[in-house]
Structure 1
Amino acid sequence: MTVALAAAGLLLVSGTCTSAAQDRAGTVAAPAGENGGLSGAAPCPGLDGFTCSTLNVPLDHRGRTPGRLGLKVAMAGNAEAPKGVLLFLTGGPGQPGVPFAARIRDRMAPVLKDYRLVMIDQRGTGAGALQCPRLQKEMGASDLTPPTEQAVKECAAANGEQRRFYSTGDTVADLELLRRALGVRKMTLDGVSYGTYTATRYALAHPNRVARLVLDSVVPQTGYDPMDLAALRAAPRVLREACAAIECTTDPAADLAKVVDTYGNGVDVIDALTTWGFVDPDYAEMIDALHRAAEGDPGLLRGLIAGTRQGNAATAEELSQGLHASTLCLDGRYPWGRSDAPMAGRREALEKAGAELTPRDYGPFDAATATGLGSMLSCLHWPPTPAPPLPSPHRRLPGSVPVLLLGGDRDLSTPVEWLYDQKKLTPRAEVVVVEGAAHSVQSRAASDEGREAVYDFLLRR
């Protein structure tokens, strides 16, 4: 569910606390006595018309643990824009915002006379990225590549007790402090991928502070499914639609099922397919590779899998796997429970959940795929950590907030089935699904249909 991946240039598009362990975690110093304020305003290097400042926030919004974080913020100069602030939220979790300000400014240019574009490096990202060298090397920018148990445990140990302060709820509290620091009554939020989940959680927590919501490549407010069952079931549909578009002569869904059954490589295949949507939403080379493998020649498929793994390499500053694990483990619901569940019994609970799955649940894949994905295994090995409260999964977004739900029908990172799950909980939502597009429609789609829908929605009276 990352906004984008590092492969072949696929990226889209915290503060020093009081202990040495917190320093090692990669936090950025925040000036004393300035929690909730912006400081250090200066022109953003290489970004004309933007001012960069530091938003100073408490490490612990509950006030029980000392420490502050300094979050970098980039703000366009038109502070008096008639429609106010447009806060654009990137994804991951683990991706910074400020490095993508120029790209988003270009993509959103038709609305930026009316809106003031603001972007933020959320806690644990960018210069304040949570650093986990081994986990970073093993997973790169992927959600699905399985990490080793040792890499996960090293990451949790490196971040220590502060890992409890990197949930989406903590980021939502940071965004409310940002709104106050900007001096605006309401903000318009545009989120992509995990950014949609953050934006929705902000709207649930502060409904009277949201003017509009754009949710692009939707992660529903009910949360990320660590088994990724919607994507597993969607893969045959996506491949058949792509096959029709390129007029291929094979049945990629049948080939996919045979490959997984023959080689037992479901995790590798869904990981590679998810990445490939960023490279080519027609999946042409993948369709060919699946057919060859189904016919007994897996060489090309193995090469593409290896290539996507290599191409997914990313630094923590580009997408922090330490933050990714911290947030997903705190936010998630797993077969063993929440992040505070004891280690004993977790593996047994996961195996039991896998045994209860049926082919209807995972489509052409298998139970081993559903229970062996990277985000699931990261949290399986994540040490018990106090679980933050979550909003009710059935709570509706307020009808007073206009919402645009945007997706691509070829997306396997955040399949459109998730978009329709969110629609059930969003009374005023408009839906735009762009044919032939994959993840991050505003940034990456070849068609302008999605972007034009966003412009129309944002400029509407």
Structure 2
Amino acid sequence: MTPVSTVVGMRRLLRARRGAAVAVAVSLVVAGCSPGLAANPRYATDSGARPQGATQTSDQPAGPPALEAPKNDLSWRDCTSRVFNSAGVEPLPGVRLDCASYDADLDPISGATGSVTIGVVRAISAQTPADAGPLVMTTGSDVPTSVRLPGWLARTGADVLASRPVVSVDRRGMGLSGALDCRDMFDRQEMFEQAQFQSGDDPVAALSTITMTATTNCTDTIAPGDSAYDNAHAAEDIERLRTTWDVPALALLGIGNGAQVALAYAGSHPNKVARLVLDSPLPLGIADEAATEQRVRGQQAALDAWADQCAASNCVLGSDPKAAVDALLTAARAGNGPGGASAAAVADAISVALAFPRGGRVDAANELALAIADAQSGNTNRLNNLINQAETLRHSDGQFVNGCSDALNRPTPNRVRELVVAWGKQYPQFGTVGALDMVKCLHWPSGATPKEPAGLEIPTLLLGVQNDPVVGNEGVAAVAATAINAGSPNRRVIWQGIGHGAVLYSECAVPPVTTYLDSGELPETDTYCPA
């Protein structure tokens, strides 16, 4: 990790350049069906249960496709230490990680020539059968899948390896898939800070100027593939893996944006899906404003749940942890953030800490509380570490390109200005930052909605998180309706905790997934897992 002193010094240097840069610039002049819960859901606990809508079910098709081992495998090489260390996770005894890559067509949909390199990581253990069909895992553009896989294995996922390998696929331009470098350092930092320290009283206009330059630089870098980094093309990258392996169908685990990628794959290749696990999903055609508001609501819910946990465990912030968060954000908005941090940097640090907790539930809550308490007393080291983590995990150039490629029906600048005011009042901690976040994609070429699944003759297992700061908790019901319309019965597993990805953090969520992968059969009822 970059030393804190170096990062702070770099931010100060960049801010010193802002005045000159600005002076030069001036001189140059679906009304959908939302199904409810299935009858008599099984509760792992009934404490605090809050349904996400009813599940409609139909008779499960008999005989889902078997999962087959690859006939033509990739050229794997041991990368256990490197991948675990990059993810900040201690290697697990008996677990081996192998890395490989393969070439995929740049644009098999529109026909632009060229290719991209896709990086994959395979996890196996001494118990993994040599002839087992793999589980293909993707977290899409949320975080590189190769970063999430080690954390999952260390928490709850190693049990899956007893029956099959897990193969993570990074989205093009991210992680091991040829990470993009297309924005200059100044634009990247300004976008992270939402141009808070630019002069003028119109933050939308200030940020729009920065993102226009960043968009031009990135579309030039990826040309002629400036329309080839969306969910539909990510799905085709997975199809290239299937054809390379020469297997009839895949088992897919998609988490967050990865669930959209898996849905897009099911839409374009419905007969090539043997298992479909969608964790923390969003619908394929969701508009940018709706997706952003769901995320902001999830951030607010996660903060409320964390504050309750923090107070209940007698954390260092006392009986009102949210008041401490409010004070920190208010100071940052006024230009007095800890270490000179912007309001967006502080909000993102808190949101990412909630979304990707480290350690147990109490330890994770206390880690964030300590960072906030230290910042209040003038020691910014812990908070700067969280800010660096947020910037590294969630603000790469590849995420900018993929995220904007997926952003549909974007709001106009004037609509964003309205939402800056409205969401700032409705969602006090995260609303303004969430609204301004939509500015980054205003200049990106418009994309198209991937094809919805149809004729999906396998059941779908849906998972969700009650307090998810990345996608909120409303997508499960909407995607359940998508599965039903595609002819796929479904069940749900809902974790009542705080984080992004039920299967990644809840031990209770893993057995239904492994049973479904092994048998192709859904649980008899919906399941609620305790926080």
Structures share fold, TM-score greater than 0.5: yes
User: Which stretch shows the higher mean deviation, 259-268 or 195-204?
Assistant: 259-268
**CA-to-aligned-CA distance 1:29-80 (integer Å, 9 cap, x gap):** xxxxxxxx99994341345877765433221213532212232345569663
State the shift of 1:260 in Å.
Answer: 5.0
| 1:379 equivalent in structure 2 | 441
Of residues 328, 347, 350 in structure 1, which corresponds to 2:413?
A: 347
**CA-to-aligned-CA distance 1:214-263 (integer Å, 9 cap, x gap):** 23343443446245332344245323442354256523445555665676
Answer yes or no: is the 8 Å Cα contact 2:194–2:436 preserved in 1. Answer: yes
Of residues 302, 313, 320 in structure 2, which corresponds to 1:251?
A: 320
| 2:75 equivalent in structure 1 | 42
Distance in 1 (alpha carbons) for counterparts of 2:265 and 2:252? 9
Root mean square deviation, CA, Å? 4.3
Does 2:237 match 1:237?
A: no
Q: Secondary structure at the match of 1:131?
A: coil
| 2:262 equivalent in structure 1 | 199
Answer yes or no: is the 8 Å Cα contact 1:214–1:454 preserved in 2. Answer: yes
Distance in 2 (alpha carbons) for counterparts of 1:105 and 1:367? 34
Distance of aligned partners of 1:95 and 1:321 in 2 relative to their CA distance in 1, 3 Å threshold = same
Distance of aligned partners of 1:409 and 1:178 in 2 relative to their CA distance in 1, 3 Å threshold = same
Distance in 2 (alpha carbons) for counterparts of 1:262 and 1:46? 44
| 1:306 equivalent in structure 2 | 384
AA of the residue aligned to 1:175: I
Does 2:397 match 1:331?
A: no
**CA-to-aligned-CA distance 1:371-428 (integer Å, 9 cap, x gap):** 223xx23213x4x42x332047xx6776743333334444322333444443454443
Distance of aligned partners of 1:152 and 1:114 in 2 relative to their CA distance in 1, 3 Å threshold = same
Distance in 1 (alpha carbons) for counterparts of 2:171 and 2:258? 10
| 1:118 equivalent in structure 2 | 167
Counterparts in 2 of 1:261-300, with a 5 A limit? 264=333, 267-277=344-354, 278-279=356-357, 281-282=361-362, 283-284=365-366, 286-287=368-369, 298-299=376-377
Distance in 1 (alpha carbons) for counterparts of 2:153 and 2:434? 38
Answer yes or no: is the 8 Å Cα contact 1:54–1:71 preserved in 2. Answer: yes
State the shift of 1:88 in Å.
Answer: 1.2
| 1:341 equivalent in structure 2 | none
Distance of aligned partners of 1:154 and 1:388 in 2 relative to their CA distance in 1, 3 Å threshold = closer
Answer yes or no: is the 8 Å Cα contact 2:193–2:343 preserved in 1. Answer: no
User: Which stretch shows the higher mean deviation, 190-199 or 251-260?
Assistant: 251-260
Counterparts in 2 of 1:135-150, with a 5 A limit? 138=188, 146=194, 149=210
Distance of aligned partners of 1:146 and 1:320 in 2 relative to their CA distance in 1, 3 Å threshold = closer
Distance in 1 (alpha carbons) for counterparts of 2:281 and 2:466? 12
Distance in 2 (alpha carbons) for counterparts of 1:132 and 1:250? 45
Answer yes or no: is the 8 Å Cα contact 2:102–2:119 preserved in 1. Answer: yes
Answer yes or no: is the 8 Å Cα contact 1:95–1:319 preserved in 2. Answer: no
Q: Secondary structure at the match of 2:511?
A: helix
Distance of aligned partners of 1:300 and 1:406 in 2 relative to their CA distance in 1, 3 Å threshold = farther
Distance of aligned partners of 1:69 and 1:154 in 2 relative to their CA distance in 1, 3 Å threshold = closer
**CA-to-aligned-CA distance 1:273-309 (integer Å, 9 cap, x gap):** 212223455533545776x79xxx9456966543322
Q: Secondary structure at the match of 1:416?
A: coil
Distance of aligned partners of 1:60 and 1:255 in 2 relative to their CA distance in 1, 3 Å threshold = same
State the shift of 1:271 in Å.
Answer: 1.1
- How many residues in Structure 1 have an aligned counterpart in Structure 2? 397
Answer yes or no: is the 8 Å Cα contact 1:135–1:151 preserved in 2. Answer: no
Distance in 2 (alpha carbons) for counterparts of 1:6 and 1:440? 27
**CA-to-aligned-CA distance 1:115-137 (integer Å, 9 cap, x gap):** 34333333223252211363599
Answer yes or no: is the 8 Å Cα contact 1:273–1:412 preserved in 2. Answer: no
**CA-to-aligned-CA distance 1:309-354 (integer Å, 9 cap, x gap):** 234454xxx8782221112112113544xxxxxxxxx533422444
TM-score (norm 2): 0.61
| 1:169 equivalent in structure 2 | 232
Q: Secondary structure at the match of 2:226?
A: helix
AA of the residue aligned to 2:102: L
Distance in 2 (alpha carbons) for counterparts of 1:439 and 1:6? 25
Distance of aligned partners of 1:122 and 1:310 in 2 relative to their CA distance in 1, 3 Å threshold = closer
Distance in 1 (alpha carbons) for counterparts of 2:236 and 2:242? 10
Distance in 1 (alpha carbons) for counterparts of 2:141 and 2:263? 15
State the shift of 1:441 in Å.
Answer: 4.0
Distance of aligned partners of 1:105 and 1:201 in 2 relative to their CA distance in 1, 3 Å threshold = same
Identity of aligned residues (%): 21
Distance of aligned partners of 1:269 and 1:130 in 2 relative to their CA distance in 1, 3 Å threshold = closer
| 2:181 equivalent in structure 1 | 131
State the shift of 1:96 in Å.
Answer: 5.1
Of residues 424, 432, 435 in structure 1, which corresponds to 2:493?
A: 432
Of residues 447, 470, 482 in structure 2, which corresponds to 1:413?
A: 470
| 2:131 equivalent in structure 1 | 80
Q: Secondary structure at the match of 2:78?
A: coil
Answer yes or no: is the 8 Å Cα contact 1:407–1:438 preserved in 2. Answer: no
Distance in 2 (alpha carbons) for counterparts of 1:453 and 1:424? 21
Answer yes or no: is the 8 Å Cα contact 1:96–1:319 preserved in 2. Answer: no
| 2:144 equivalent in structure 1 | 95
Distance in 2 (alpha carbons) for counterparts of 1:379 and 1:405? 29
Distance in 2 (alpha carbons) for counterparts of 1:422 and 1:247? 39
Q: Secondary structure at the match of 2:75?
A: strand
Answer yes or no: is the 8 Å Cα contact 1:89–1:191 preserved in 2. Answer: yes
Structure 2 gap segments, 5+ residues each: 5-69, 81-94, 196-206, 334-341, 522-531
AA of the residue aligned to 1:110: D
Of residues 389, 395, 401 in structure 1, which corresponds to 2:448?
A: 389
Distance in 2 (alpha carbons) for counterparts of 1:95 and 1:7? 23
Distance of aligned partners of 1:398 and 1:79 in 2 relative to their CA distance in 1, 3 Å threshold = farther
In terms of Rg, which structure is larger? 2
Of residues 451, 455, 458 in structure 1, which corresponds to 2:510?
A: 451
AA of the residue aligned to 2:469: L
Distance of aligned partners of 1:124 and 1:354 in 2 relative to their CA distance in 1, 3 Å threshold = same
Distance of aligned partners of 1:40 and 1:135 in 2 relative to their CA distance in 1, 3 Å threshold = farther
Distance in 2 (alpha carbons) for counterparts of 1:324 and 1:431? 29
Distance in 2 (alpha carbons) for counterparts of 1:434 and 1:50? 28
